[in-house]
């Protein structure tokens, strides 16, 4: 055993990590995937601009994550535990056998927060989760979330990643697996605000027939934030809205990789990602819409719009549509440009000062994403945070 431990890919990658438990099939599968594939470097197309491997090369040390905090909401079962007694299990999406960071998470997470909404339950209050990320050194921690809406259920949930003291050498790895049952509605708002920390966040979603899944991701601060969001539309007439807003300053690097997988006919996906880049920041948007041969009558829309405030900011935008069905409506658009100077002058000619005019235009630009958050209180909080960051950026 001791020999197996010293040769495990896990301990090679992260000091303090042990080889996968031989009793646990899931961890074994994850470890096997990692052994074969390793952590992707910048040579890998999906990681071309985002060098996370660097953190592993510098050395990471495994620690236990802070427990996720959550409120108690009528109609929602929430349990934070090490293993699962019943129902869908972590790994049900199979993501740990497809992607290295999800595999790493699967091999190393200690506790999973399970959120379940029973069949027919319409939850009125919003579930609010907060994952604190406060790491002093080169710490690595993995957290896991499983959200299951049974049929005819509805839920709104916020997931906040927060931290003001995360070290720039640390890495937090989070995986959320989501099952949206038949005719269920789920709104999932993700807010990332971790100052100097690094985060890799994977969200894998299975949508069943007539399900509606909306997700809005807000990236407000972090040294490096990488989101992998994969939505599989598995049942007919499923609908998904995936939106994102990011604002970057200094040398921040935010990366959103999204995939909408249209597997069956009559589904709809709608994607809007927008962002504002300042300083010497770097940002990546890669949005893939995959329409399988069976997925006739698909409606797929995608839009990515970026505003660069400085000459030194870099946007890498790559829409990818792969369509194998012949009766579909799909479109995409990607724009990257400067703030409209004519609009700034127009506002100034009405009495707004330069910063006020710029802030009004940029807040309006964020509006299309902000307005898809249904909770007015959250929307107002986010708008204030966006304005506060604009002040910091002093555009």
Position among 38, 75, 279, 367 found at the interface with another protein (CB under 8 A): 367
Position among 67, 322, 340, 392 found at the interface with another protein (CB under 8 A): 340
3-state class of 215 per DSSP? Answer: strand
Under the binding rule (CB under 8 A), the answer on residue 386 touching another protein is no
Contacting range for another protein; rule: CB under 8 A; set: 87-95, 120-128, 177-185, 363-371: 363-371
Contacting range for another protein; rule: CB under 8 A; set: 128-136, 147-155, 314-322, 347-355: 347-355
**In the chain, where do the E strands start and end?**
61-62, 69-70, 76-81, 112-117, 127-132, 139-149, 154-162, 171-180, 185-193, 198-207, 212-221, 224-233, 239-248, 253-262, 268-277, 282-291, 299-308, 314-323, 329-337
Task: Give min distance, CB of 276 to another protein, in A.
Answer: 13
Torsion-angle region of 318 (φ positive above 0: left; ψ -120 to 50: alpha; else: beta)? beta
Position among 88, 280, 292, 348 found at the interface with another protein (CB under 8 A): 348
Position among 3, 23, 349, 376 found at the interface with another protein (CB under 8 A): 349
Q: Minimal CA–CA distance to 269: which of 230, 306, 326?
A: 230
User: How far is the first Cα of the chain from the last one, in angstroms, to the nearest whole number?
Assistant: 58
Q: At what angle do helices 341-348 and 354-370 cross, to 10 degrees?
A: 120
Q: What is the Rg, in whole angstroms, of the alpha carbon atoms belonging to the chain?
A: 21
Contacting range for another protein; rule: CB under 8 A; set: 34-42, 91-99, 292-300, 335-343: 335-343
Under the binding rule (CB under 8 A), the answer on residue 368 touching another protein is yes
Under the binding rule (CB under 8 A), the answer on residue 59 touching another protein is no
Contacting range for another protein; rule: CB under 8 A; set: 53-61, 104-112, 199-207, 345-353: 345-353
Q: Tell how many helices (H) and how many strands (E) occur in the chain.
A: 8, 19
Contacting range for another protein; rule: CB under 8 A; set: 45-53, 64-72, 308-316, 336-344: 336-344
Beta-ladder partners of 303: 272, 333
What is the bridge-based pairing of β-strands 185-193 and 212-221? parallel
Position among 352, 375, 385, 387 found at the interface with another protein (CB under 8 A): 352
Contacting range for another protein; rule: CB under 8 A; set: 27-35, 127-135, 357-365, 384-392: 357-365
Residues 6+ apart with CB under 8 A from 8: 17, 18, 19, 20, 31
CB burial class (10 A; 0-12, 13-18, 19+) of residue 332?
middle
Position among 87, 345, 384, 391 found at the interface with another protein (CB under 8 A): 345
Under the binding rule (CB under 8 A), the answer on residue 320 touching another protein is no
Residues that bind another protein (rule: CB under 8 A) add up to a total of 22
**Nearer to another protein by C-beta: 324 or 346?**
346
**Nearer to another protein by C-beta: 19 or 309?**
309
Under the binding rule (CB under 8 A), the answer on residue 376 touching another protein is no
**Nearer to another protein by C-beta: 294 or 354?**
354
How far apart, in whole angstroms, are the C-alpha atoms of residue 96 and residue 34? Answer: 9
Q: Which residues bind another protein (CB under 8 A)?
A: 340, 342-343, 345-354, 356-357, 360-361, 363-365, 367-368
């Amino acid at each position: 055993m001791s020999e197996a431990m010293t040769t495990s890919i896990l301990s090679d990658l992260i000091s303090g990590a042990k080889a996968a438990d031989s009793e646990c099939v899931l961890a074994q599968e994850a470890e096997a995937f990692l052994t074969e594939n390793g952590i992707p470097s910048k040579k890998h197309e999906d990681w071309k601009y985002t060098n996370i491997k660097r953190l592993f090369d510098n050395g990471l040390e495994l620690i236990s994550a802070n427990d996720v905090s959550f409120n108690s909401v009528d109609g929602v079962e929430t349990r934070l535990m090490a293993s699962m007694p019943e129902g869908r299990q972590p790994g049900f999406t199979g993501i740990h056998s497809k992607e290295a960071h999800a595999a790493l998470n699967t091999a190393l997470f200690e506790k999973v927060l399970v959120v379940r909404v029973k069949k027919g339950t319409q939850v009125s209050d919003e579930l609010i989760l907060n994952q604190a990320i406060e790491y002093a050194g080169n710490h690595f921690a993995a957290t896991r979330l499983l959200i299951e809406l049974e049929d005819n259920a509805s839920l709104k949930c916020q997931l906040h990643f927060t931290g003001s003291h995360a070290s720039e050498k640390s890495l937090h790895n989070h995986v959320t697996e989501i099952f949206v049952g038949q005719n269920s509605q789920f709104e999932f708002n993700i807010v990332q605000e971790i100052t100097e920390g690094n985060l890799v966040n994977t969200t894998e979603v299975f949508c069943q027939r007539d399900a509606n899944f909306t997700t809005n991701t807000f990236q407000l601060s972090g040294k490096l934030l990488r989101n992998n969001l994969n939505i599989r539309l598995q049942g007919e007439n499923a609908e998904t809205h995936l939106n994102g807003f990011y604002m970057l300053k200094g040398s921040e690097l935010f990366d959103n990789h999204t995939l909408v997988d249209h597997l069956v006919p009559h589904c709809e996906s709608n994607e809007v990602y927008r962002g504002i880049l300042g300083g010497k920041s770097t940002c990546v948007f890669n949005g893939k819409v995959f329409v399988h041969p069976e997925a006739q009558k698909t409606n797929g829309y995608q839009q990515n719009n970026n505003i660069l405030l400085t000459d030194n900011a870099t946007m890498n935008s790559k829409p990818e549509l792969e369509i194998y069905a012949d009766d579909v409506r799909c479109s995409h658009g990607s724009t990257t440009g400067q703030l409209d100077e004519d609009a700034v002058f127009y506002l100034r000619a009405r009495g707004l000062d330069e910063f006020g005019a710029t802030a009004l235009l940029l807040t309006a630009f964020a509006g299309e994403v902000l307005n898809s958050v249904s909770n007015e209180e959250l929307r107002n909080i986010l708008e204030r945070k966006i304005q506060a960051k604009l002040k910091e950026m002093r555009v």
